[in-house]
Structure 1
């Protein structure tokens, strides 16, 4: 195994990345929590509505996303903590231990990013389901737009 000489500035590079990630994760958490509260309020206004089955499923999906975001935050904070610990080991001249701790911090940050990608794909699928009742309208607009583009192209070609 190759040895890497870590300086105090090496783990410090993770601070800015971790800070931005945590800010993004917190914003996601806040937005998701607001949607859950809004859906819960909608559910409570009419608990016997047939629409509540959809609301309950949406809330379940959002709860899962909140758990994912919590895990992303945990990994991000842990990565930040390990970066600090790595700096302490570098200061105490425990290079081998600093290398292992820094590597673990990198893997934790990579894990947070991987969970983030997964959460984004779940979010996109939820939006597709939410907009599925507008498919005929959106499809029609797309067809009209394509037709307009074709006609514009043909007009340009004949005017040459």
Structure 2
């Protein structure tokens, strides 16, 4: 039998995860602003690749946040149904919460891969500048 404390254990983890996702989003927004200031109206090929990379990462972070929030809501519903002693519903909501959390983390893993691609684009830019000088 599952108690209300089982889903309650997920609350801090999900909250910290959502905070980390928000921080990633804010860093991306800052990078986009810096790129815009740096490039202005003359956008180089490497910058165009970065823009596409950043756009894709924004979409992924939004998806990560969405699944994280859904997980949080389902976890809350699980606690509520367990509080009301609707054990089976509480277990189902908890299972759905865990599945949503796994989806969020899976999208996060993919976003990290794309983030590494962005670093490689920056390295290409540095190498190109080094060759020109």
Q: Same fold (TM over 0.5)?
A: yes
TM-score, length basis structure 2? 0.88
| Whole-angstrom CA distance in 1 between matches of 2:48 and 2:124 | 18
What is the Cα deviation at residue 105 of structure 1?
0.2
Alignment of 1:1-160 (within 5 A): 5-44=1-40, 47=41, 49=42, 51-134=43-126
- Secondary structure, in 3 states, of the residue corresponding to 2:2? coil
Contact 2:50 2:121 in 1 (8 A): no
Q: Normalized against structure 1, the TM-score is what?
A: 0.74
Unaligned runs of 5+ in 2: 129-133
Where structure 1 has 5 or more consecutive residues not aligned to the other structure, the ranges are 137-160
State the superposition RMSD in angstroms. Answer: 1.7
- Structure possessing the higher radius of gyration over alpha carbons: 1
